[in-house]
C-alpha cells in the first residue's frame, strides 16, 4: 500500500529535492538529520562501496545513528567479514542492527519449493528482504540509502531526497551524484572497511545464490540475478 505524506511534509521534501538534487553528500546528510534527527536510519547491504562510504560519513556527522542490514540467510562469508570489521572500527559510533525473516531457508523450501530464487526470484526477495525491511523502518521518519545514479539505468534519475510511499517515510540518497571513482577515493583516504569481494570483480554483492563476478565491459550490476530480467530486489521500487 502506498502512503501519502501530509501536505507540508511533501512540500518540504520537494523543496529540499529542488535545492539538493545535485548537491554533495554533506549537504544532503545535514538536511536529513536536521529535519528528522534521531528518526533517521541508514540502510546498508554491506555489498557495495556506497554502503562503506555512508557508514563512515554517518558515524562522523551523527554518531549513534542506527545502521541496519538484512540477513537473508544467504550472505557471503565475506559479507559477514565486512560486517565484523565495521563493528570493530565504528563501535558505538553506529548502532548496528540486523533484521531477518522468521522463515528459515528450510521452511521456505518446504512451503514454496526448492531454490525459490531460481524459479521466482521476486518472491524470494519479497520474503527475505522486502518483508523484513518493514520491521526495520517501523517508527522511523527517514532512511538513508546508497543509491547512486551511475549504478544502473533504473537509478539514472534518482533524486537526492524524496518521499518513499512504499514504506511511508522520507528517503535520502546522499551519494546520488557520486561514482565508483569518488567512492574508492573516499574509502582509501579514510581507511574505510569494504567487502573483500570488491577486489575479486564483485562491485555489488547480494545473496550467494544470485550474485556472480562481473566480467570486463559489463555493467557494475550485471552480476546480480544474472540470466534473468530482474534488476532490483524490490526495496527501491514503488
Verify whether residue 233 is a known catalytic residue: yes
Classify residue 215 as exposed, middle or buried by CB count within 10 Å of its CB (0-12, 13-18, 19+).
Answer: exposed
3-class DSSP state of 11 = helix
How far does CA 215 lie from the centroid of its chain? 23
- Please answer whether residues 20 and 27 qualify as being in contact, where contact means their C-beta atoms are separated by less than 8 angstroms: yes
Active-site entry in 125, 207, 210, 233: 233
Task: Please give the order of strands across the beta sheet that includes 94-99.
Answer: 94-99, 65-70, 40-43, 142-144, 169-172, 161-164
- H/E stretch holding 52: helix 49-61
The span from the CA of 212 to the CA of 197, in Å, is 10
* C-alpha cell belonging to residue 156: 539514472
Phi/psi region, residue 173 (left: phi>0; alpha: psi -120 to 50; beta: rest), is: beta
Length of the chain: 238
- Catalytic machinery residues: 233
Amino acid at each position: 500500500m502506498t502512503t501519502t505524506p501530509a501536505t507540508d511534509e511533501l512540500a518540504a521534501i520537494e523543496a529540499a529535492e529542488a535545492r539538493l538534487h545535485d548537491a554533495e553528500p554533506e549537504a544532503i546528510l545535514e538536511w536529513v538529520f536536521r529535519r528528522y534527527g534521531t528518526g533517521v536510519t541508514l540502510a546498508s547491504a554491506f555489498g557495495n562501496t556506497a554502503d562503506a562510504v555512508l557508514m563512515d560519513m554517518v558515524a562522523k556527522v551523527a554518531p549513534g545513528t542506527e545502521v541496519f542490514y538484512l540477513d537473508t540467510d544467504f550472505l557471503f562469508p565475506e559479507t559477514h567479514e565486512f560486517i565484523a570489521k565495521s563493528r570493530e572500527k565504528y563501535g558505538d559510533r553506529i548502532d548496528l542492527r540486523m533484521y531477518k525473516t522468521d522463515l528459515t531457508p528450510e521452511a521456505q523450501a518446504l512451503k514454496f519449493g526448492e531454490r525459490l530464487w531460481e524459479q521466482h526470484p521476486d518472491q524470494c526477495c519479497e520474503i527475505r528482504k522486502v518483508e523484513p525491511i518493514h520491521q526495520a523502518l517501523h517508527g522511523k521518519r527517514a532512511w538513508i540509502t546508497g543509491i547512486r545514479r551511475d549504478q544502473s539505468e533504473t537509478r539514472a534519475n534518482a533524486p537526492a531526497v524524496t518521499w518513499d510511499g512504499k514504506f511511508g517515510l522520507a528517503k535520502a540518497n546522499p551519494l546520488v551524484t557520486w561514482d565508483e571513482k569518488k567512492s574508492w577515493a573516499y574509502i582509501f583516504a579514510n581507511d574505510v572497511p569494504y567487502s573483500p569481494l570488491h577486489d575479486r570483480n564483485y562491485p555489488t554483492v547480494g545473496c550467494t545464490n544470485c550474485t556472480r563476478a562481473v566480467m570486463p565491459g559489463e555493467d557494475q550490476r550485471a552480476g546480480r540475478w544474472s540470466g534473468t530480467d530482474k534488476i532490483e530486489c524490490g526495496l527501491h521500487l514503488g
